[in-house]
């Protein structure tokens, strides 16, 4: 049985004071919802302050990115060693990073390996553009991204990480994939790609999230899909009531 997860990707939002306020509001609402893995991913500069808000509780903390090297002359970057002990999770290969910061399948693969070597749980993002979707390339493109991301890993490593299927056309647009579409790609494409390279058991054990315009109003139907184990949430994760409702609805669906 895969444990559901509601992970909030705060992106480049919130000052340190605002992040503390948001994390506190969320903590006060969902601290006890332990049947759902709750994860908050603020910016790097906010991580220590949000860590302090979450300390002693069961809400997880994640970074939004990291470099793969241990240390060195990489101005502006953050290494896995710096995140170890501070966060449990790290988002890797978000489409915004691929699109605006030249991340490739190859760098995503390096980052995943570095994160695992430091005991961090990667939340690996994949997803097609609108053009690819309209050209009928979704299945082959997303399958290729999954395989490239996981190349060289062991089955145990794969089932310890999390894949987030986020169609780019659904991110921040208010136009979520239908639950049926999301189920189709999470199951017949993402989980199938894992099964092809690592076997059916590993595919069944790996958590697959959907992301793209999820909110309290559409999360129930999404969470009712058999191959969707949670959501990576952008905009709605900045609204404590909305995010907390999503956690509670997920708990109900799995209850």
- 114 alpha carbon, distance to own chain's centre: 17
Chain residues binding ligand PGA by CB under 6 A are 9, 166, 171-172, 211-214, 232-236
67 is catalytic: no
189 secondary structure, DSSP code: I
Burial 76-114 (b: 16+ CB within 10 A, else e): eebbbebbeeebbbbbbbbbbbbeeeebebebbbbbbbb
Residue nearest to ligand PGA (CB): 234
Q: Which residues contact 133 (CB under 8 A, 6 or more apart)?
A: 167, 169
Q: Given the residues 96, 103, 128, 166, select the one marked as catalytic.
A: 166
| Alpha-carbon torsion (95, 96, 97, 102), positive or negative | positive
CB atoms within 10 A of CB 12: 7
d(CA 183, CA 161): 19
* SS3 (DSSP) at 91: strand
The CB-of-210 to ligand PGA minimum distance in angstroms stands at 10
Give least dist CB 75 to ligand PGA, A: 26
> At closest approach, how far in Å is the CB of 123 from ligand PGA?
9
Handedness of CA 7, 112, 228, 56 (dihedral sign): negative
Q: Are 54 and 26 in contact (CB under 8 A)?
A: no
Judged by CB, which is closer to ligand PGA: 64, or 183? 64
Instruction: Name the residue nearer to ligand PGA (CB basis): 80 or 167.
Output: 167
> What is the C-alpha separation between 99 and 95, in angstroms, rounded?
6
Q: Which is nearer to ligand PGA, 205 or 242 (CB)?
A: 242
- Give whichever of 10 and 68 is closer to ligand PGA, judged by the CB atom: 10
Q: Is residue 166 annotated as part of the catalytic site, yes or no?
A: yes
Assign 129 to helix, strand or coil. Answer: coil
**Active-site residue among 94, 96, 103, 128?**
94
Rank residues 62 and 211 by Cβ distance to ligand PGA and give the closer one: 211
Provide, rounded to whole angstroms, the least separation between the CB of residue 139 and ligand PGA.
21
Q: Which residues are catalytic?
A: 94, 166
């Amino acid at each position: 049985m895969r444990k559901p997860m509601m992970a909030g990707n705060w992106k480049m939002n919130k000052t340190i004071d605002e992040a503390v306020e948001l994390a506190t509001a969320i903590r006060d609402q969902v601290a006890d919802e332990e049947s759902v893995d709750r994860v908050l991913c603020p910016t790097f500069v906010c991580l220590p302050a949000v860590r302090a808000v979450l300390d002693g509780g069961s809400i997880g903390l994640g970074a939004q990115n990291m470099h793969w090297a241990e240390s060195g002359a990489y101005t502006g970057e953050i290494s896995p060693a710096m995140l170890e002990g501070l966060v449990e999770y790290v988002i890797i290969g978000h489409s915004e990073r691929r699109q605006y910061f030249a991340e490739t399948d190859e760098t995503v693969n390096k980052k995943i390996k570095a994160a695992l070597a430091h005991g961090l749980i990667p939340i690996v993002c994949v997803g097609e553009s609108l053009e690819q979707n309209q050209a009928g390339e979704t299945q082959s493109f997303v399958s290729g991204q999954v395989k490239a991301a996981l190349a060289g890993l062991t089955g145990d490593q794969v089932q310890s990480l999390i894949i987030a299927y986020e169609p780019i056309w659904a991110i921040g647009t208010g136009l979520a994939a239908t639950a049926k579409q999301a189920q189709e790609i999470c199951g017949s494409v993402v989980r199938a790609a894992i099964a092809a390279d690592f076997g059916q058991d590993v595919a069944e054990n790996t958590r697959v999230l959907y992301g793209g315009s999820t909110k309290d109003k559409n999360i129930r139907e999404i969470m009712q899909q058999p191959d969707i184990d949670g959501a990576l949430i952008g905009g709605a994760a900045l609204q404590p009531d909305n995010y907390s409702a999503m956690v509670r609805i997920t708990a109900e669906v799995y209850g």
